[in-house]
Amino acid sequence: MNARTSSAVMAQRSHPRGSLDYFPTPPWATRALLHEVLSRYGIIDLRTKRARDPCGGGGHMVAPLRESFGAVDVSDVHDWGINPEIRDFTFETRETLLADGHQLPDWIFCNPPFQIASVFLERALSIATEGVAFLCRLGWISGQERHDTIFGPRPPRFFCPFAERVPMIEGVWDPEASSATDYAWYVWLLDEEGEYPARTEVWHLPPGMEDRYTREADQALATPGEAARRAAERKKKNASENETPTLFEVSI
């Protein structure tokens, strides 16, 4: 069964392309977790491990994962330009992966669509054999429903908020973009008994992560100036909409 006829594909939802909540992750944000948290915690044998990114997008998270992991599998519900295997993660299970000839991932990393991040997490926790790392808004940790379904019964092993902003815009990564949104990594680790222990450590990711973990090769994934171009378009559109019609225009 090939990528286009896999069981996860046949069950996939139908979404308009513009509804997929695609906000590429700055590559430095993934390296920060790998080196500042996982490596310091003692998870240093990643070259023997397999990771999967089910929201592969344009490869912005895949690239730094491949620097650390021995194998990285990538899929997405849409092809954003890197020819991923087309799979809908909301229908993924260990059985669908194995049936389609895949190895189970030791780790699942992703920046999930915010509106269905909880669904993605349930899938990821049931598939990964060692750990799950989600990059989500800082505010994802709040809310009664998420407390009752996620953070109460199964809290992450590490909660890793960024001190600096992690700017993201829809559809592309622009290193020059700015943001008012705070982000954090949420990391679950299986223990020796195959359980996710109910305890959480906070690992603050200090200022300077962007400078420390940006690489020259990342520019191949970037679209500089896009945020400024969009801001100029919005300003022009707003100015046009707010123009007061002349007396001649009103009389007509």
According to DSSP, residue 194 is labeled S
Identity of the residue numbered 128 = A
| Residue 1 predicted with pLDDT over 70 | no
pLDDT for the residue numbered 21: 87
How many domains is the chain built from? 1
Taking residues 153-165, what's their average pLDDT? Answer: 96
Range of the domain at 35: 3-251
Is pLDDT above 70 for 10?
no
**Mean pLDDT calculated for residue range 156-164:** 97
- The whole-number pLDDT of residue 11 equals 46
Strand segments (E) across 61-182: 71-76, 85-86, 107-110, 131-137, 158-161
Q: What is the CATH number of the domain that holds 165?
A: 3.40.50.150
Model confidence band, residue 248 (pLDDT cutoffs 50, 70, 90): very low
CA angle at 115 for the pair 122 and 223, rounded to the nearest 5°: 110
pTM for this model (two decimals): 0.87
